[in-house]
Chain A
Amino acid sequence: MRGNTLRLKPKGLSPVSYGLRNSGYLTVASNVRMQGEVCEYYQGDLTAFPALSVGATTINMTVDWPYPQIFQHDSGIWIANRNHLYQLSYVSAAWTLDDRLSSYSGHDVSWPWTFAGPPMNPVFASGNVLVWYDRTDTAWKVYDKATTGHTTPGSNWSSSWYPPVSICNFRGQYVACGSAIATTAPSQSRLVRWSEIGRFAWFGHTAQERFRDSGEWYAPVDDNEILLRCEALRSGVMIYGTFGSYFLYPVEESFGFREVPEIGISNPLAIGGNLDQHLVVDRTGGLWIIEPDPRSRDKVIVKNLRYEGTLYSLVDGSNISTGAGLVSVVWNEREKEWYISDGTTSYLYNADGLTKISKVVTGILDMKEVVLTR
């Protein structure tokens, strides 16, 4: 009897749930990374962040999904979990450690942290609290609008405003969006604010209106919509909501808006990337890439990668009010790959495909970048 062969070059997990017969796509790909058309045995090339203590303060690095989150900035390494926001800085050849959330002890954060890091002025927002250094009052501020001792935001934020769900930095300008609860109409949950350029000063409060560079905009949707994440691209800012997304692009001193209706997300951590690419897991588990359009400054390129059949289990059953099961996308700049996890299952996506790995990652820190920016 005549013999035949079929040679398959592996391509990573199948992007669709119907069978792609006789292809190199896989239905199971565990502990591997695609490198071209080669499967590399791989579990995430990360060194465990060590347990640290400086003086009497010890950093709690125990994984309590989706914490701890790690942020890099010229002010130091920032490690954020439910009830601590550690600033680990290197000053005069010695490490110092401060907890910028120490005044908030007894109040756990349940919404994940987002971070805006223009030089020297980091700002942190979860849906519960807003944390920043007030240069007028020369003090760190922790504002949640509701808890005694945290209802007065100091000079640069209004006490009638809720803490935003997310904040980012776009060319020296803070952009903040959403609120954890729907307020009286028009609801602040669908509000986008942008600050003065170079200053934590906001339209309707302390911004100097003669500059005309601060402003605000309500997304044209129902008051119950929550804008969950703002994240900068090279040419503008993507605003991701539950039922749709928007691209803000600079127009003279202000911004223009373009709707990206296909993409709604389940929580603020469902996006990861850099200024050139965002990887997004939508509410149905679909995977998307958003890129600035090199031909047009007011547009983005939206690529639908599919994978709903694989990733739906990550977004199903998540609880934003406790943080349980939130899907999180973490970008590794060094390896050019994303880790997509829900606390129990983890996938790796790179330009060559999607695979499953064993490391459930909450944050990464590239020490080469820290050295360069210190």
Chain B
Amino acid sequence: MTVALGDYVYGSFSETSDKGTLLLTTEVLDFGLAGFKSIESVALSFSATTAVTSALAEVLIYWRNDRKSSFRATSWFRTDPLGMAFPMVTALEFKVSVRLTDLSAGYLDSLTTFFKAGDGRFGRSDFRLIVGEQGESD
């Protein structure tokens, strides 16, 4: 008999083959703008609570240029040590996917997408602000 009396939650379970990989994909992102947008970078704010020797955080962008079509995927972009990835994708709509492997524990508390709206066709007020002719770029 090997059941110990102690502070445990025992379970009877089997495990699926995808254990070990944290995988997230967002809902559709169009940033509230109808024209083409360019995702330049994605920043992950995450922490690992135990030593992570080979943690690998990657970002993939699903994109489409027609709302009736299926999404197509880029390849995975590995993040830098600060959690930044630089995929550079231009399209109408996106979904951002995040993959973290080799984690024993960790938290992801936000995902920030940096994008530029270069498509000036839908500007109704100050066109120059949108295309950045007056040095508005950063």
Across the interface, A48 reaches (CB within 8 A) one of B10, B32, B95, B97, namely B10
Please tell me if the beta carbons of A39 and B107 are within 8 angstroms of each other in the complex: yes
Across the interface, B9 reaches (CB within 8 A) one of A27, A366, A371, namely A366
Give Cα distance in the complex from A25 to B106, angstroms: 20
The contact size tier of chain B is 35 or more
Which residues on the A side are within 8 Å of B116 (C-beta)? 1-4
Give Cα distance in the complex from A301 to B13, angstroms: 32
Please tell me if the beta carbons of B16 and A14 are within 8 angstroms of each other in the complex: no
Known contacts A1-B116, A2-B132, A346-B16, A22 near B29 by CB under 8 Å: yes
Determine the residue in chain B with the shortest Cβ distance to A19: B28
Which residues on the A side are within 8 Å of B73 (C-beta)? none
Across the interface, A27 reaches (CB within 8 A) one of B19, B20, B95, namely B95
Which residues on the A side are within 8 Å of B112 (C-beta)? 5-8
Contact pattern, A 25-45, Cβ under 8 Å of B = 1, otherwise 0:
111111110010111110111
Please tell me if the beta carbons of A46 and B111 are within 8 angstroms of each other in the complex: no
Determine the residue in chain B with the shortest Cβ distance to A359: B13
Across the interface, B27 reaches (CB within 8 A) one of A14, A32, A50, A53, namely A14
The contact size tier of chain A is 35 or more
Does B51 count as interface, using CB distance less than 8 angstroms? no
Does B82 count as interface, using CB distance less than 8 angstroms? no
Which residues on the B side are within 8 Å of A46 (C-beta)? 9-11, 13
Please tell me if the beta carbons of A39 and B1 are within 8 angstroms of each other in the complex: no
Does A334 count as interface, using CB distance less than 8 angstroms? yes
Please tell me if the beta carbons of A358 and B12 are within 8 angstroms of each other in the complex: no
Give Cα distance in the complex from A8 to B9, angstroms: 33
Does B31 count as interface, using CB distance less than 8 angstroms? yes
Please tell me if the beta carbons of A1 and B9 are within 8 angstroms of each other in the complex: no
Contact pattern, A 327-365, Cβ under 8 Å of B = 1, otherwise 0:
000001011000000001110000000000011111111
Please tell me if the beta carbons of A362 and B22 are within 8 angstroms of each other in the complex: no
Give Cα distance in the complex from A285 to B40, angstroms: 38
Please tell me if the beta carbons of B109 and A365 are within 8 angstroms of each other in the complex: no
Which residues on the A side are within 8 Å of B66 (C-beta)? none
Does B103 count as interface, using CB distance less than 8 angstroms? yes
Give Cα distance in the complex from A39 to B45, angstroms: 11
Which residues on the B side are within 8 Å of A32 (C-beta)? 22, 24, 108
Please tell me if the beta carbons of B106 and A31 are within 8 angstroms of each other in the complex: no
Which residues on the B side are within 8 Å of A30 (C-beta)? 18, 21-24
Please tell me if the beta carbons of A1 and B11 are within 8 angstroms of each other in the complex: no
Please tell me if the beta carbons of B113 and A6 are within 8 angstroms of each other in the complex: yes
Does B85 count as interface, using CB distance less than 8 angstroms? no
**B46–chain A nearest beta-carbon distance, Å:** 8
Please tell me if the beta carbons of B1 and A31 are within 8 angstroms of each other in the complex: no
Which residues on the B side are within 8 Å of A334 (C-beta)? 9
Give Cα distance in the complex from A43 to B5, angstroms: 24
Please tell me if the beta carbons of A360 and B29 are within 8 angstroms of each other in the complex: no
Give Cα distance in the complex from A182 to B29, angstroms: 51
Please tell me if the beta carbons of A31 and B21 are within 8 angstroms of each other in the complex: yes
Give Cα distance in the complex from A371 to B7, angstroms: 9
**B123–chain A nearest beta-carbon distance, Å:** 12
Known contacts A3-B114, A5-B114, A26 near B26 by CB under 8 Å: yes
Please tell me if the beta carbons of A31 and B18 are within 8 angstroms of each other in the complex: yes
Please tell me if the beta carbons of A43 and B12 are within 8 angstroms of each other in the complex: no
Please tell me if the beta carbons of B107 and A28 are within 8 angstroms of each other in the complex: no
Across the interface, A52 reaches (CB within 8 A) one of B2, B16, B130, namely B2
Which residues on the A side are within 8 Å of B16 (C-beta)? 344-346, 358-360
Please tell me if the beta carbons of A359 and B11 are within 8 angstroms of each other in the complex: yes
Please tell me if the beta carbons of A360 and B97 are within 8 angstroms of each other in the complex: no
Which residues on the A side are within 8 Å of B10 (C-beta)? 46-49, 70, 364-367
Please tell me if the beta carbons of A44 and B11 are within 8 angstroms of each other in the complex: yes
Which residues on the B side are within 8 Å of A7 (C-beta)? 110-113
Give residues in A with beta carbon < 8 Å to B.
1-10, 14, 19-32, 35, 37-41, 43-50, 52-54, 61, 63, 68-70, 77, 79, 88, 90, 95, 332, 334-335, 344-346, 358-368, 370-371
Jot down 13 A-B pairs with beta carbons below 8 A, ordered by A.
A7-B112, A7-B113, A24-B26, A38-B107, A39-B107, A50-B2, A63-B12, A77-B3, A358-B15, A358-B16, A361-B13, A367-B8, A371-B6
Given contacts A10-B109, A26-B25, A360-B14, 9 further A-B contacts (CB under 8 A): A2-B130, A5-B112, A23-B27, A46-B10, A46-B11, A70-B10, A90-B5, A365-B11, A367-B3
